[in-house]
Amino acid sequence: MAKKVVEVSSLVKQYGDLRAVDGISFELYEGEVFAFLGPNGAGKTTTVEILECIRPLTSGSAKVFGYDVTKREDAKEIKKRIGVLPQDFSALDKLSVKENIDLIGGMYEKKLDTMEVIKLLDVEDKANERFENLSGGLKQRVGVAAALVNDPQLVFLDEPTTGLDPKARREVWSVMENLKKLGKTVFLTSHYMEEAQVLADRIAIINKGKIAVIGSSQDLISEYGGLKVLVVRKGGKEMAKTLQDRFGGTTLNHNGDVFVKADDVNEMWRVLSTLTEMNLTKEIEIQTPTIEDVFLKVVGGRITEEGELT
C-alpha cells in the first residue's frame, strides 16, 4: 500500500458568509499525480494554500507528511518538503533563467544545483535568457524549475497551463509527466478536462467548495461517463431506421449523421457487424466518453476555456 502524503478530513474554510471549502475529505498517496478539477471559485487554490501552510483553515484537519498544517513547527517541516508553482507565478523580468532559479534556490537550506534543475526542465538553451523574453510555455517551465530547486517530495502545481496556447500547454504536460518519472508526488489543480484526464492517476471533481466524486479517469468514466457512441457520417434516414429497429438508441442529426449508443463492447461489435453486412461505404467513428462527460453528469455544467462554469 502506498504511503499517504496528504490527509484531509472535513476541511472547511470560511470567509464571512462564504464557505470557500465546504467539509472536504481526501488523501494523496506517494508517487501519484492527483488532480483537483473544477471551475474558477471552486475552492481549488484555497485548499492547496491551506496545505502549503499559506492560509489557515477554519475547521477540520489537514496533514502533509504526517505534519499538522495548523502547528507552526510542523509547518516549517512541511515547507522544507514541498515545491510550489502558484497560479500567478512570475519571476524577475530582467534576470536570466539561471539567475532567477539561483535566487529562489538561495532561500532554502537544501537545494539542487541550478544547472541540474535547468537540464531536468530542458531549458538549457535559455539559461542565460532574460525571463521577460520567454514565451508563456517557457515561463511556466521556469516556474516548475523553481518549484523543484529544493528537491521536494511533493509538488503543488496550481493551474499551471492557464492562458497557454495548445502547443505550449502540451509542452508543460510533458514536463509534468517527467515529474512522476522523477519519483515526485504531484498535486495538480486545473479547469482543463483533458489535462486532468491525461496526467492524473486520480481526479477529484470539485465545485462550490465540495468534492463531487474522486477516482481514476477510467473508474469515473465507467461509472458516470455514459455509453460509447458509434457515428456513421451521413448515414441517412434509412440506415438510422434500420439500426433503431435492431438496436434502439439511434438518432439522426441535421447533417444526416447517425448516432448509435452501445451498452457495452459486445453490442458495439454487433452494430459494426450489421454495418458490414450492409456493405457500408460511409465514414465510421466511435466516440468514447471522457472526463468532460463525467463532469457534465455530476456537476450539471461545462467549464469554459477561461475556467467559468456554464
Tens place of pLDDT per residue across the chain (310 aa): 689 999 999 999 999 999 999 999 999 999 999 999 999 999 999 999 999 999 999 999 999 999 999 999 999 999 999 999 998 888 899 999 999 999 998 888 888 899 988 888 888 899 999 999 999 889 998 999 899 999 999 999 999 999 888 888 888 898 888 898 889 999 999 999 999 999 999 999 999 999 999 999 999 998 998 888 999 999 999 999 999 999 998 999 999 999 998 888 888 899 999 988 888 888 899 888 999 999 999 999 999 999 999 9
| CA of residue 238 relative to chain centroid, distance | 43
Q: Are 246 and 261 in contact (CB under 8 A)?
A: no
Grid cell locating 161: 497551463
Grid cell locating 212: 463531487
The amino acid sitting at 191 is H
Grid cell locating 292: 468532460
What is the reported pLDDT for 213?
A: 98
The pTM of the full predicted model, rounded to 2 decimals, is 0.87
What is the reported pLDDT for 160?
A: 93
**C-alpha dihedral sign at 169, 171, 177, 178:** negative
What is the reported pLDDT for 75?
A: 97
* Structure-derived torsion over alpha carbons of residues 202, 140, 112, 123, reported in degrees to the nearest 10: 120
What is the reported pLDDT for 110?
A: 81
Strands, E, within the chain: which ranges? 4-15, 18-29, 33-37, 59-64, 67-68, 82-85, 154-158, 185-190, 202-207, 210-215, 228-232, 250-252, 258-262, 284-287
What is the reported pLDDT for 175?
A: 87
Q: Are 117 and 184 in contact (CB under 8 A)?
A: no
Phi, psi dihedrals of residue 195, rounded to the nearest 5° = -60, -50
